[in-house]
Amino acid sequence: MAYDAVNMADWQISEAAEENMPTPEQWQEKLGLDKAEMLPMGRLAKIDFLKVIDRLKDKPDGKYIEVTAITPTPLGEGKSTTSVGLMEGLGMRGKNVGGALRQPSGGPTMNVKGTAAGGGNSLLIPMTEFSLGLTGDINDIMNAHNLGMVAMTARMQHERNYNDEQLARLTGMRRLDIDPTRVEMGWIIDFCAQALRNIVIGMGGRFDGYTMQSKFGIAVGSELMAILAVATDLADLKDRINKITVAFDKSGKPVTCGDLEVGNAMAAFMRNTINPTLMCTAEYQPCFVHAGPFANIAVGQSSIIADRVGLKLFDYHVTESGFAADIGFEKFWNVKCRFSGLKPHVSVLTSTIRALKMHGGGPKVVAGKALDDAYTKENLGLVEKGVENMVHMIGVIRKAGINPVVCINRFYTDTDAECAIVRKAAEAAGARCAESKHWEKGGEGALEFADAVIDACEEGNDFDFLYPLEMKLRDRVNKIATEVYGADGVDWAPEANAKAEMLENDPKYADFATMMVKTHLSLSHDPVVKGVPKGWRLPIRDVLIYSGAKFLCPCAGTISLMPGTGSNPAFRRIDVDPATGKVSGLF
């Protein structure tokens, strides 16, 4: 049943849909799960993925469908809505379908953008739980990560206060001799807290810590979140946590969570995060929520674990990559699929008339401010100029050997003539194209879209990676910059170049994934530049080392690992009714 999305708020649609939301016990029956494979948590449940995978290990995988997008406006172009709409459309066609989406961060939820659970008739339910911590994975990650920082700072204090003999006698620990100017980790919090980007800690006396500069990042950018996205099981998670590089000692050797003897305790905090949480669409297709890393500063994917379970349980499994194809799809293609060994059947490129108009030279789009009339009234000229960005992204996906399906995520203000321009350009670039009104009409509005995806899944592809693992880090970055972003080349800051050279010469890092850190608002490193920029070079200022996740993260431009809260944040609208406990204003 589709609700009146034009006149009903998302929370009203969610509330209505939740009245008939299946219980954990009903999901157990619907999905054919054993009782021991369901881990109820209130009106939601986690799935014991190892039990499911083991029982279904000989069952063939379903069709693997990835959803990405063109370069978005700051408002986002509806990848989650499109992913949910596709599940609903495939469900309307009678297919056994499910998916996997990322858990939203409290940062954007309480900031200008708000929560990210889809919208209209294509949203995940229950929305309040989804938006406010769900089953606690991000909270567990924060506790585990910050425990690592507590271990490091306490160790630095004690090593300063005790000589080697006292240290050995009192604690049995060896001196790690951490260099306070070469600390890789910072603290994390799941809010956009610009005041914590650069801090000084340990003020006071000799028993009040170690005085030094430190920092906070947003929780979903933590290496622990990246590890959760790529881990295969709890043993793998524990091993990776112990290998995290927290800092370097004064001789330049890495100091890990294992060296600090804190990694096992961190894994204990994260023991429950390893199992995906089961939610559903407003039309009751199952959808796992697991991991929630940003794509501009992290891997930007829901977990390999959730995809592996979904491919066993569903004939069609939909997974989403963060932000645009230059970022999210590139990491899905060259990192996630390489780590998982899974091969996608098709990728969906979400496109909106709004974003194409912006790329065609339309007025600036600012989150929290009303859209200019150019975006809500027909303007064929802006669409014509803006399709270049979409065509570029089609080319990126085709480099992976996949022929994409372009989904025109149609808003009710878009016109037939505007959509016709997009369809013509997409098909001329060799892609399938379908309009979809899933936001307005749910699965019924996504039938053309679902049919295009079904057809594409039956068509073979020549999926392959952009570069071999043997390629050196700086060569990989150059290939990504030139062939994915469209840059003329790469300019390395002296410190970043020296770090890259050191990493290239150490065989320990030879098989680490290359995880670019770049703005999502432009193909370039500059968020102001729209369309398909020409005649530019990508500046790399640093390379972060995620030795547990096995990522090397070249940082382009001035992107921050801690976003800032805007002047008109969403938390101003959020309230709770003390009589009923009902939350309002979230979406």
- 490-492: strand order across its sheet: 490-492, 538-546, 551-556, 513-514
Please indicate if the annotation marks 211 as binding a ligand: no
Please indicate if the annotation marks 395 as binding a ligand: no
Residues 82 and 68: their CA atoms lie apart, in Å, by 9
Can you say whether the dihedral through the CA atoms of 323, 329, 330, 336 is positive or negative?
positive
Residues 254 and 512: their CA atoms lie apart, in Å, by 16
Which stretch of DSSP H or E encloses residue 136?
A: none
Residues 542 and 495: their CA atoms lie apart, in Å, by 7
| Closest to 100 measured CA to CA, from 119, 121, 86 | 86
Instruction: Please compute, for residue 414, the number of CA atoms within 13 A of its CA located in the half-sphere on the CB side.
Output: 24
* Residue whose pair of structure tokens reads 């910072």 in the numeric block: 186
What tokens does 524 get?
């370039």
- 245-249: strand order across its sheet: 178-183, 245-249, 254-256
Q: Which residues does 358 contact at the CB level (< 8 Å), separation at least 6?
A: 73, 365, 375, 386, 530
Please indicate if the annotation marks 581 as binding a ligand: no
Please indicate if the annotation marks 73 as binding a ligand: yes
What tokens does 575 get?
């309230």
Please indicate if the annotation marks 399 as binding a ligand: no
Q: DSSP of 139-208, one letter per residue?
A: HHHHHHHHHHHHHHHHHHHHHHHS-HHHHHHHH-PPP--EEEEEE---EEESS--GGGSSEEE--SSTTS
Please indicate if the annotation marks 77 as binding a ligand: yes
What tokens does 123 get?
């949203």
Looking at the DSSP bridge assignments, the partners of residue 555 are 517, 542
Q: Name the packing angle between helices 494-504 and 473-480 (round to 10°).
A: 120
| Closest to 250 measured CA to CA, from 178, 333, 322 | 178
Q: E strands of 219-338, at which residues?
A: 245-249, 254-256, 277-281, 286-289, 316-320
- C-beta pairs of 521-525 under 8 Å, 24+ apart in sequence: 521/71, 521/72, 521/74, 522/71, 523/71, 523/324, 523/326, 523/389, 523/392, 523/485, 523/486, 524/485, 524/487, 525/556, 525/557, 525/559
Looking at the DSSP bridge assignments, the partners of residue 433 are 406
Please indicate if the annotation marks 78 as binding a ligand: yes
Residues 545 and 513: their CA atoms lie apart, in Å, by 10
- Backbone phi, psi, residue 346, to 5°: -160, 155
**How many other CB atoms are found less than 10 A from the CB of residue 55?**
15
Residues 115 and 179: their CA atoms lie apart, in Å, by 39
Residues assigned a catalytic role: 79, 81, 102, 113, 295, 323, 411, 439
Residues 502 and 496: their CA atoms lie apart, in Å, by 10
Secondary structure (3-state) at 575: strand
Binding-site residue numbers for ATP are 73-80
Binding residues: 73-80
